[in-house]
């Protein structure tokens, strides 16, 4: 098996894994709740937290993070097994992480209407550069605790993680190819928070413990 074959197998596979809507599935299996019809209508862990509580939100968070992590680790393991070059391996890992993120945000299973990608993006970052992922997570959680704005922690933490990939890749700590993931993932995730940014600037963003401002349309089941 060569590098091209691996790309053709792993990238679609990472997308399909990333597209698994754990927030929707956990809500329906455990409570019979469609999270698309509650709170913000988002399928991610923050809306699960508002709709169904901490325990299920943590479960969804772990599962969504694992999508990005598994995509990278699977790419790394298969690349080692077929012995492709280190540069090809870096592109494969980076591409798999991005594919999982795109799958989460635009899942084929839900007519391409998915989440915002923070958890899955973090999972990819943790696998590519664990220290950068931990720092981004600590900053994000700290901001969330201080301000009680989940979105603000995400909007600040994500670019910080992406920047760490660019900087340390440039310094030679790992492949500079990882910086592509940092840049593209930051653009995608921050872009998915456009409405949150508008509300933050207007002072109307919901804090932790408050209902989301949006009233989502009834989802098709």
Tell me, what's the pLDDT at 211?
A: 58
**CA torsion angle 132 136 138 139 (round to 10):** 140
**Tokens read off for 181:** 């993931």
Residue 60 CB contacts under 8 Å (≥ 6 apart), including other chains: 22, 23, 26, 44, 45, 48, 119
Tell me, what's the pLDDT at 218?
A: 46
Q: Is residue 41 within 8 Å of residue 23, measured between CB atoms?
A: no
Tell me, what's the pLDDT at 209?
A: 67
- State pTM to two decimals: 0.91
**Tokens read off for 62:** 């772990």
Tell me, what's the pLDDT at 38?
A: 87
Tell me, what's the pLDDT at 212?
A: 54
Tell me, what's the pLDDT at 51?
A: 84
Tell me, what's the pLDDT at 6?
A: 87
Average pLDDT, the chain: 90
Q: Is residue 154 within 8 Å of residue 136, measured between CB atoms?
A: no
Query: Any long-range contacts for 57-60 (C-beta under 8 Å, 24+ apart)?
Result: 59/26, 60/22, 60/23, 60/26, 60/119
**Tokens read off for 26:** 């956990």
Tell me, what's the pLDDT at 215?
A: 45
Low-confidence ranges of the chain (pLDDT < 70): 209-221
Show the CA angle centred on residue 188, arms to residues 152 and 181, nearest 5°.
110
Half-sphere CA count of 187, side-chain side, radius 13 A: 6
Tell me, what's the pLDDT at 221?
A: 35
Q: Which residues of 18-48 are buried (b: 16+ CB within 10 A; e: fewer)?
A: bbbbbbbebbeeeeebbbbebbbbbbbbbbb
Phi, psi of 49 (to 5 degrees): -60, -45
Q: What's the Rg (C-alpha) of the chain?
A: 17
Separation of alpha carbons 88 and 182, rounded Å: 18
């Amino acid at each position: 098996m060569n590098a091209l074959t691996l790309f053709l197998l792993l990238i679609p596979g990472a997308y399909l894994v990333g597209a698994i809507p754990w927030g929707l599935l956990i809500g329906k299996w455990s409570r019979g709740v469609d999270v698309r019809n509650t709170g913000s209508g988002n399928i991610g862990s923050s809306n699960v937290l508002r709709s169904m509580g901490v325990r299920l939100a943590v479960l969804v968070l772990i599962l969504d993070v694992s999508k990005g992590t598994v995509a990278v680790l699977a790419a790394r393991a298969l690349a080692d097994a077929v012995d492709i070059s280190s540069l090809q391996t870096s592109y494969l890992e980076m591409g798999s992480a991005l594919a999982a993120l795109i799958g989460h945000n635009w899942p084929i299973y839900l007519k391409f209407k998915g989440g915002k990608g923070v958890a899955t993006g973090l999972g990819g970052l943790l696998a590519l550069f664990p220290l950068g992922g931990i720092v981004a997570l600590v900053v994000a959680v700290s901001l969330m605790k201080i301000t009680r704005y989940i979105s603000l922690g995400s909007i600040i933490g994500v670019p910080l993680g992406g920047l760490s990939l660019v900087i340390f890749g440039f310094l030679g700590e790992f492949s500079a190819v990882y910086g592509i993931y940092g840049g593209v993932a930051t653009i995608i995730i921050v872009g998915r928070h456009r409405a949150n940014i508008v509300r933050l600037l207007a002072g109307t963003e919901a804090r932790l413990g408050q209902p989301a401002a949006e009233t989502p349309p009834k989802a098709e089941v």
